[in-house]
Amino acid sequence: MQTPSLPTVPGPETGLRWRSIAADDVDAWYALIRRMAEADRPGWVEDRRDLEQALETASGDPALDTLIGLDKDGAARAYGRIALNPGSETGSGFGGVDPQWRRRGIGAALFGWQEARLRQRLLSEHRKHGVLRTYAEEANASHIALLESAGARVVRYFTEMSRPLHTDLPHAELPAGMEFQTFSAANSDAIRRAHNEAFKDHWGSEPRNKERWAFTVGHPEFRPDWSFAVIDSGTGEVAAYQLASFDPESQSIHGYKEGYTMLLGVRRNWRGRKLAPAMLGEAMRRFRDGGMDNAGLGVDTENPSGAHDLYESLGYRPTHREVVFDKPVL
């Protein structure tokens, strides 16, 4: 199969000069994201390490899979990128426009470029099907409208939840023969393998290889002291796990400091033993001891496991929702 030509970047009608993102653009790129965050108030904002990782990961070639739009003074006013994990048919789209440069068609032009670039990559890998997946804050009406007008359709909702830690915490305990083991380099890969098994059948989840896992547990916001595995003392195996993080921007975003459960899973052979509530109770205690005001997590609204009901029973309440859009590109 002949490799299709690269997609055309947005043109001069946008008022911007476009090129791929380079390592020395990270400061300007991050400043753009901060300006967008101040206007849009998202539940989470990428930090510098996330941007650096996007230029290093095997899920994309920065020279071909990223764009930055510069005004006549060289200031970054918009960006776009795509990511596609090896072997996957679902690409992820990321991007945004400076609040002062919106309503000029730049966002639509970027989305069109993302579609075309992802299609080009999928065809070069001889794929017959593929979709572009984009996450949007439900409260961001302009982003939602852009995706709908581009023909993307809602496929999922994710709810962010939070729980104050100044109230009584759950007293759920681990069953006999189980114990908590704080995250360390020694158990990291066993937890990674347990995660891949626990999330094997979860919607949208793809296995985390060692590179992706290293980024997760090496991220500046990751808190190993708040993270742990549940060990079956009879077999020595990881039965379940909880990984936590702390975003130093949480105080300005939410009005409180929040310890966040970013990954929580129980392997199939250990389900039905109430390990999840015990882990969340332990996480809350660690968060509170670490000076946090709240405990937070996210849940797939359509998760058939009943996770949403469990979290509500433990005192978590919804704060906002993310909407997941898919657009077929092949």
What are the extents of the domains in the chain?
Answer: 12-151, 160-323
Q: Do the Cβ atoms of 217 and 157 come closer than 8 Å?
A: no
Q: For the segment 14-61, what is each residue's pLDDT rounded down to a tens digit?
A: 999 999 999 999 999 999 999 999 999 998 899 999 999 999 987 889
Q: How far apart are CA 152 and CA 33, in angstroms?
A: 23
Q: What is the mean pLDDT of residues 266-294?
A: 97
Strand pairing category for 66-70 and 17-19: antiparallel
Which has the closest alpha carbon to 264: 311, 319, 232? Answer: 311
Which has the closest alpha carbon to 163: 41, 86, 260? Answer: 260
Q: Annotate 237-258 with DSSP letters as a single string.
A: EEEEEEEEEE-TTHHHHHSS-E
> In this structure, what token pair is assigned to residue 141?
């009406």
Rounded to a whole number of angstroms, the distance between the first and last alpha carbons of the chain is 15
Residue 281: strand, helix, or coil: helix
pLDDT of residue 3: 53
> In this structure, what token pair is assigned to residue 186?
């020694």
Q: What is the mean pLDDT of residues 297-326?
A: 91
pLDDT > 70 in the chain, percent: 97
Please determine whether the domains at 12-151 and 160-323 fall in the same fold group of CATH. yes
pLDDT of residue 1: 45
Q: For the segment 87-135, what is each residue's pLDDT rounded down to a tens digit?
A: 899 999 999 999 999 999 999 999 999 999 999 999 999 999 999 999 9
User: What's the CATH fold of domain 160-323?
Assistant: Aminopeptidase (3.40.630)
User: What's the CATH fold of domain 12-151?
Assistant: Aminopeptidase (3.40.630)
4 pLDDT higher than 60: no
Which has the closest alpha carbon to 259: 299, 220, 298, 286? Answer: 286
Q: How far apart are CA 117 and CA 82, in angstroms?
A: 8
Q: Do the Cβ atoms of 104 and 15 come closer than 8 Å?
A: yes
279 pLDDT higher than 80: yes
Q: How far apart are CA 31 and CA 26, in angstroms?
A: 8
Q: Annotate 143-178 with DSSP letters as a single string.
A: HHHHHHHTT-EEEEEEEEEEEESSSPPP---PPTTE
Q: Do the Cβ atoms of 109 and 77 come closer than 8 Å?
A: no
Q: Do the Cβ atoms of 9 and 114 come closer than 8 Å?
A: no
Q: For the segment 198-230, what is each residue's pLDDT rounded down to a tens digit?
A: 999 889 999 999 999 999 999 999 999 999 999
pLDDT band (50, 70, 90) for residue 5:
low
